[in-house]
Structures are given as structure tokens and as C-alpha cells.
Amino acid sequence: MRRWQGLLAWLMAVCMGASAQAPGAPTRVEQRGEQRVEQWDVFEVQLPGPSEGNPFAEVQLSARFSDGTQTIEVDGFYDGDGTYRVRFMPPRPGRWTWVSQSNRWPLTNKQGAFTATPARAGNHGPVGVRNTHHFAYADGTPYKPVGTTMYSWAHRGEALEAQTLQTLAASPFNKVRMLVFPQTAGTDRHPPELWPFAGTPPRNWDTHRFNPAFFRHLEQRVRQLRDLGIQADLILHHPYDDKREWGFDSLPRELDDRYARYLVARLAAYRNVWWSLANEFDFIRTKTDADWEHLGELLQRTDPYGHLRSIHNGKRIFDQSRPWITHVSMQHGMAAAEASRAVLFREAWRKPVVFDELKYEGRHDRRWAQLTGAQMVNAFWATTIAGTYGGHSEFIPDADGLIWLAQGVKLRGDSPARLAFFKAVIDAAPAEGIDPIDTFEDLFIAGQPGRYYLVYFGTQAPTAWLPRLYLTGLRDGQRFKAEIIDTWAMTITPLAAPLQFKPEGRYHFVERSGQAVKLPGRPGIALRLTAVDTPAGPGAQPAHDD
């Protein structure tokens, strides 16, 4: 009898149609029976459906969303216990209708509608590429990444993860690189509580069945990062389960594809998601370049919102010109140490370049985690002058062996406070981004010609600078407010009087008085020049090409 009662309840739920909700979205309200969800937030359709067999592999579900002028098709996913979900991120305000499609009749032709309300303050939408080498949110607000890496922070249990979120809330970081699959490092003391597949470690997995609880936990952390204004750069694959041989790096292509589609269906509706195909892709010996190419194209094809996509290197750099790669995620400590090296990566691919691993601050016996705080801060300023971006992490164990790079929890290095100061400086820079001014010859100066300049002396310690700027954008007599920035002491000291420039020779403008600007004679000093007068528009140009 109970069996028939349960079946009857299930059929009634099917006949009554779907329920829809927006998880974690405080903007949802009911109005005239129709739901309201903020633009670029998550609208969710929940449907009851079959649970027999293997729904992860055997049931296909999608829904078409339309506002009358635009139609977007979104894949759904099985969330266990006979529950299916479809998540949608409305790209603009208005009334949206939806209808489901499936290869199972209980999930087919379900329909509904909701209203997307205008985005509220702080919700700028997903991040995309802007001005070739830079980033911006969907509403046009500039996004300037100051990222950090915490590989397994979301696999360390509630107490440690809560501490990590508290630390991030007070940090300068607006992007976090994090693994989807757990890594082995640190699991002796902090074993994962959840696993991505049904089964038990180390190898007793049913890789044809996902563990929905694992992915619910992951999306909770992504949502919490979103609420802190932090982008979640999700790393799909890594080479770090070799000691326990869980086998997650050795899935066949069919299962890799199913995993990627499942991630997109569950997480793409969150506006703060980025996709990183792999960390140190070339250290994963079970996959070829053709496999990565296939996976990159799959993500490009199946993500209806076009979230940012990258692939991170160990020693061998992937072909970053591939069209499915939206920006360069680079590991290269030597290049990040000086602007004149970092700029070559930018010029080679004409995409945004993020040195996600420019080495780390720490006390490791490996050279990739031996930077001092000063060296880490210098690398951020150097990559910025090159028109690229830096990425932080640290390897400084506490008494319990907790390390920010692996577990998060607490920051212990000298660089984060200076990176907060750095972030305040670049956030105040022009919205178009900071670009090298003269890549042919001078890699100490960047900004926007005729309007804004950052002059960075790096590890040098000059006592004076004779003002000299490339001529583009300048006009005779133009004046600039000048400020001396100590990137380590975190001070900004304005000069008493503006600098005034005049042309000299074919390529440059110099300060009219001919006097040098006195400097402190310490490493890590920068100058900021902000135009007092209107620039020359398109600007003067040299008489012929260099």
C-alpha cells in the first residue's frame, strides 16, 4: 500500500508541474504568482523525475528560456533522490518564459515564467574580456584581478572552510583558484568528507555516478565567494592525486565529458565562475593535447554564458592562441619578475595574461615557493607595468601544518597587506586598464597616454628621476600631478608642484624645468602622474615608425 501511495504522490507532483526557486538569491519575491529574480542571479527549475537505472547517464534534460527576443538553451542535471534541476542566469531584465525538453516523459514540456529584475548595487554580472588585454563585468564595470590560489580549501571541512571565508572577506583578493577534485596533499590530517563519485576511497568508485552532496557543497562555496565579490576560478583537472591514486586524473574521455557537462549544468548560472581546464596540464600524463583541445571546445560549446576559459601550464606552455582560450593563465616566475619579460607574453597572444603562478611567498625547499614578501609585491607591480596581471599564494606552514596554498584558513605572509595597498592604486587607475606606453624601448612606464602614468623602478633604488615620457597623447605645456608611491611602506607622497612637459626630439616629452624628481633611494618605488590639463586627444606621433 505504501508503495502505491508513494507512486501516486509522485504522479501528482508530475501532473502539477515544476516548482522553481532561486537558491541563495535574496532578491526573489512572489508577485501575482510569478517569481522575480535579479538579473545575473540564479533562477532554478526543480522537477520530479525517474530515479531508476542511472539518471546521470541515461536521462537528458534541458530547458529553453526566452524573453521574446532572445532564446537560451540550458542543460539540466540530476541532483539525486528523483530530483532534477535546471539553472538559468537571466542576462537582462524582463519577463522570461521557459519550457523543458527531455528523453523522459515526466520531464518533458514543463513550462513556467518569471520576471528578471534589474541588478542591484554590487551585482555587475559575469566577467569577460575587454579592450583586448583586460577584463570587465557584463555591465561595463572594470574588473582588475588580484587573485590567490587555495587548491583544496573547499575540501577541508566546515570549520576550516569557514575560517578561510572569514580571511578572504578581509583580504584584497577578488579571484580564487580552486580545485574541483581534491588533492592528496594534506589529506592525512584533513581527509575529505565528500567525494565527487559514488563509492569509497581509494579506488572503489562508480565513476558513472556523481555524488550530488559533493557538488552541492562545491556550489555552496562558489555562492559564498560570489557574495564576497570573489571570482571562482575552478580547476577541472590536476596531477595531484598520484600518491593515493584515486584515479580522477585518468578518466576516459567519455567520463571527462560527462563530468564537464555536469559542472556546466550545475555551476554556469553562477556569475562568478571561470573554467580552468587544468593546473599544470603537462604534468597530467594520461591526457594528450588533443584531449585538452576537445575539452576546451566542449566547454566553449556547452556553456550558454561564455564564462572565461584557460589552461595552466607546468613547464610546457599550451598553444594559447586557440580560440577557446579566452585569457592566458601562466606559470612563469622569471617572466613575472620584470615588466620587460612579462610584456612579451601579452604581445605574443593579444589576450589578457594572468600570471596565476608567478612563484609563491614562502619557506619551501622547492624554488617555486621561496619568494620573500617584497619579491611577491614586486612581481605584482612588474606584471602590472607590463599590462598583465599577477596571482598570489603562500607556503608558510603553521604549527598544525596548514598552508594557504593547500588549505587556505589564514594568511601569514608579508605580501597581502601590500597587495591591498596595490589594489587600491590600480582600482583608482583609468577604467580602460594599465597598458605599456612604449613597448619598443621603455618598460618602466605604463598607463593611458596623455592622461595617467605609473613609473615603476622595481628592484632598482634610484635617488632621482629625470621626467621623460613617450610623446603619444601629450601636448606642449601639459601638466601632471605627481606622487611618489612606496609600494612596501604603503605611502603616497605628492610633489609640491605639478610637472610640466615640453617636446624634445622625435619621440619624447621632458619636464620643462629640466629638474629631476628626488626619490627615496629604495627598491619598490613608483611614481603616479595624473593629468591636470586636458590631454591632446589621439596624441602626437613620431615622424615615422620605430
Residues 6+ apart with CB under 8 A from 33: none
Lowest-confidence segment of 52-66, 120-134, 177-191 by average pLDDT: 177-191
What domains does the chain contain, in order, with CATH numbers? 2-117 (2.60.40.10), 127-424 (3.20.20.80), 435-531 (2.60.40.3950)
**Nine cell digits for residue 67:** 524573453
CA distance 539 to 359: 38
CA distance 504 to 514: 11
Residue that wins the pLDDT comparison between 32 and 364: 364
Residues 487 and 421: beta-carbon distance below 8 Å: yes
**Nine cell digits for residue 392:** 598570489
What are the strands, taking DSSP E only, across 350-401? 353-357, 361-362, 389-392, 394-395
CA distance 206 to 540: 66
Residues 46 and 85: beta-carbon distance below 8 Å: yes
What integer pLDDT is reported at residue 5 of this predicted model? 41
Query: Exposed (0-12), middle (13-18) or buried (19+): which is 97, by Cβ within 10 Å?
Result: middle
CA distance 393 to 309: 21
Residues 6+ apart with CB under 8 A from 432: 131, 134, 142, 448
Lowest-confidence segment of 85-94, 330-339, 372-381 by average pLDDT: 330-339
CA distance 152 to 191: 11
**DSSP summary character for residue 318:** P
Q: Can you tell me the mean pLDDT for 171-199?
A: 92
Handedness of CA 397, 398, 400, 402 (dihedral sign): negative
Residues 6+ apart with CB under 8 A from 26: none
* Amino acid at site 356: D
pLDDT at 97 over 90: yes
pLDDT confidence band for 375 (50 / 70 / 90) = very high
**Nine cell digits for residue 46:** 526543480
What integer pLDDT is reported at residue 540 of this predicted model? 57
Q: What are the distances in angstroms from CA 316 to CA 199, 289, 313, 330, 485?
A: 35, 11, 6, 10, 37
What are the strands, taking DSSP E only, across 105-196? 111-117, 127-130, 134-137, 142-143, 147-149, 175-179
Q: What is the pTM of this model?
A: 0.92
What integer pLDDT is reported at residue 237 of this predicted model? 97
Residues 516 and 466: beta-carbon distance below 8 Å: yes
pLDDT at 24 over 50: no
Task: Please report, rounded to a whole number, the percentage of residues in the chain having pLDDT higher than 70.
Answer: 91
pLDDT at 20 over 60: no
Q: How many CB atoms lie within 10 A of CB 193?
A: 12
Residues 258 and 56: beta-carbon distance below 8 Å: yes
Q: What are the distances in angstroms from CA 539 to CA 82, 126, 434, 446, 500?
A: 65, 34, 17, 16, 16
Residue that wins the pLDDT comparison between 399 and 273: 273
What average pLDDT is seen over the chain?
Answer: 91
Residue that wins the pLDDT comparison between 519 and 545: 519
Beta strand pairing call for 273-278 and 231-237? parallel
pLDDT confidence band for 185 (50 / 70 / 90) = confident
Cis peptide leading into residue 202 (ω within 30°):
yes
Query: Which tens digits make up the pLDDT trace of 206-230?
Result: 999 999 999 999 999 999 999 999 9
